[in-house]
Amino acid sequence: MKLTPAILDILGDAISQTPPAYKAFASFNPSTGEVLAYVRDMGAEETEAAITSAQAAMPEWAAKTAKERAKILEKWHDLLMQNQEALGLLVSLEQGRAIKEARGEVAYAAGFIEWFAEEGKRAYGRTIPAPVAGKQLLTVQQPVGVVGAVTPWNFPLSMITRKLGPALAAGCAAVLKPAEDTPLSALALKQLANRAGVPEGLIHIVTAASGAEVGKVLTTDPRIKKFSFTGSTAVGKTLYAQCASTIKKISLELGGNAPVVVFDDADLDIAVPATALSKFRNSGQTCVCANRIFVQRGIYDAFVERLTAEAQRLLLGPGWEEGTGLGPLINQKAATKVTQLVEEAVSKGARVVLGGKVDEAQGPLYFPATILTHVPREARMFDEEIFGPVAALYPFDTEAEGIALANDTPFGLAAYAFTTDIKRGWRVSQAIEAGMVGLNDGVMSTEVAPFGGVKESGLGREGAVEGLEEFLETKFISFGGLG
Ligand SMILES: NC(=O)c1ccc[n+]([C@@H]2O[C@H](COP(=O)([O-])OP(=O)(O)OC[C@H]3O[C@@H](n4cnc5c(N)ncnc54)[C@H](O)[C@@H]3O)[C@@H](O)[C@H]2O)c1
Ligand SMILES: O=C[C@H](O)CS(=O)(=O)O
């Protein structure tokens, strides 16, 4: 399956379909292993030039009114939705996502642009009653400056617009390095942004086969005033430290280890499909996927049976085929990690109820929906993100035990609880250590609500009102001599 004419029309000269003369790397189709296209392999020099260009472009953009910026962002949103089929297929080809989900990724990404086009008009300051006569006190909101950003492969459009939407709405310019697995999706976003009227030079997509060199510039160049990262906690810690030398404003959207706590009194007609959706969405490759599923003992067997039936309905196949429910994992490193986690859990007593190993007949990246029971606490997958379609189930007895198990992790991004007892629901949602709690809900993500984690899952929030604040600085003005 190749890039279609509609996709090539969007990408234009940002890519090459044959090995180019310039330094380049390939983007692969995980469903087939084929090369999709080649993109520039950039480094420190290109990144520094991009920052120079962004810094030059920002003043004119910041001088526009929020309403003028909103008009251009609204046009960008419209172009994304008008190209939803082509962009959805591109995401499916480049990231392996099941096509029906990939179309949703386009709409999710466009939603951030639409939301922040509006929010940019609400960057309110305020006046403050002065404590002494002859003064007026007020605050104004100003764009933080040139933004540096680094994003992951698993949501190749929305993790970018979740940053560029508020950055541009606030009046900033940006230099962004996408993941090496999904550079085409990032370039397509920029191409359409420029067609919508975002000035050349305001957004730079710096594609690179390895992130370290580009990341070092984005985290240490003093001209970058805000650094925003989405990715693993391990890399986030490295970048956080690198930002210290210039005291950059920073946002970190990092790894998760989401618990699901299903109580005896749960409505299984809600809990089972919601857990399946959370677990198997994007083939289990989301930061908010159910990673540890705790089921109260009284319903454990019934829950295992019903979740297994849900998982069996997920057809494993190439992302672009309409019937596909589970696409391939992103690359061999991912498939090897998931395989090792399952084998290690089984070696410690876990039982495979469904799936459990790569479907070699389809290819090395095709990992089927997998259900594991009797997973021991000491299994690696209790403490590590599985990042694959593997449901690990653990029984528990009391509410206190369920909460303690849920919180037994240094991560705190998403968590889920299922109960029909409203008081229990409120108690548990307050006690669980996470930035986001789904109460009888398996998919929370929306541009209108704040997304982010606590503990080692990150700093700051994206989306919602909070998302714009990450790209603004509050200036306090004390107006004296008015007596
Ligand atoms: N919290 C969230 O909103 C969120 C969203 C999506 C993914 N994630 C997390 O991201 C991880 C999966 O994505 P991934 O595999 O792309 O993560 P990753 O951390 O390996 O890579 C993320 C990005 O960082 C770059 N990178 C890697 N090493 C770098 C370095 N030394 N300097 C600069 N850049 C570097 C990569 O090239 C990529 O662009 C998971 O842990 C997942 O939970 C979190
Ligand atoms: O993987 C991380 C994404 O943020 C998942 S979500 O679609 O935003 O929930």
Q: What is the pLDDT of residues 104-147, one digit of tens each?
A: 999 999 999 999 999 999 999 999 999 999 999 999 999 999 99
Nearest atom within ligand 2 for CA of residue 414: 9
**CATH 3.40.605.10-classified regions of the chain:** 5-254+457-476
Ligand 1 mean position, distance from CA 154 (Å): 9
- Spatial strand order of the sheet with 126-128 comes to 126-128, 136-143, 472-479
Using DSSP, state whether 370 is helix, strand or coil: strand
Q: 């989900």: which residue's tokens? A: 101
Could you tell me how far CA 19 lies from the centroid of its own chain? 30
- Mean predicted confidence (pLDDT) in 437-445: 97
Of the residues 95, 286, 386, 457, which should be mutated to test ligand 2's pocket, given the most ligand atoms within 8 Å of the CB?
286
Q: Would you say how long the chain is, in residues?
A: 483
For residue 209, which amino acid is it?
A: A
**164 close to 120: Cβ distance less than 8 angstroms:** no
**112 close to 445: Cβ distance less than 8 angstroms:** no
Which stretches of 63-120 are assigned E, i.e. beta strand?
none
List the catalytic residues: 253
Candidates 198, 72, 208, 102; CA nearest to 151 is 208
Of 3.40.190.10, 3.40.605.10, 3.55.30.10, 3.30.460.80, which CATH number belongs to 5-254+457-476?
A: 3.40.605.10
Give the Cα separation of 372 and 157 in Å (integer).
Answer: 32
CB distance 231 to ligand 1 below 6 Å: yes
Question: Is it the case that residue 1 has pLDDT exceeding 90?
Answer: no
Task: Give CATH superfamily name and number for 259-449.
Answer: Aldehyde Dehydrogenase; Chain A, domain 2 (3.40.309.10)
Query: Exposed e or buried b for every residue in 187-213, given b needs 16+ CB within 10 A?
Result: bbbbbbbbebebeebbbbbbbbbebeb
pLDDT, position 20 = 97
* DSSP bridge pairs for 391: 371
What does pTM read for this prediction?
Answer: 0.98
CB distance 287 to ligand 1 below 6 Å: yes
Ligand 1 mean position, distance from CA 473 (Å): 26
Q: For residue 435, which phi and psi values (nearest 5 degrees)?
A: -80, -20
pLDDT, position 120 = 98
pLDDT in tens, 150-172: 999 999 999 999 999 999 999 99
- Mean predicted confidence (pLDDT) in 304-327: 97
pLDDT in tens, 210-250: 999 999 999 999 999 999 999 999 999 999 999 999 999 99
Residue with CA at minimum distance from ligand 1 atom 20: 232
Give the Cα separation of 392 and 376 in Å (integer).
Answer: 10
Average pLDDT, the chain: 98
Residue with CA at minimum distance from ligand 2 atom 6: 445
**CATH 3.40.309.10-classified regions of the chain:** 259-449
Question: Is it the case that residue 253 has pLDDT exceeding 90?
Answer: yes
Question: Is it the case that residue 331 has pLDDT exceeding 90?
Answer: yes
pLDDT band for 383, please (50, 70, 90 cuts).
Answer: very high
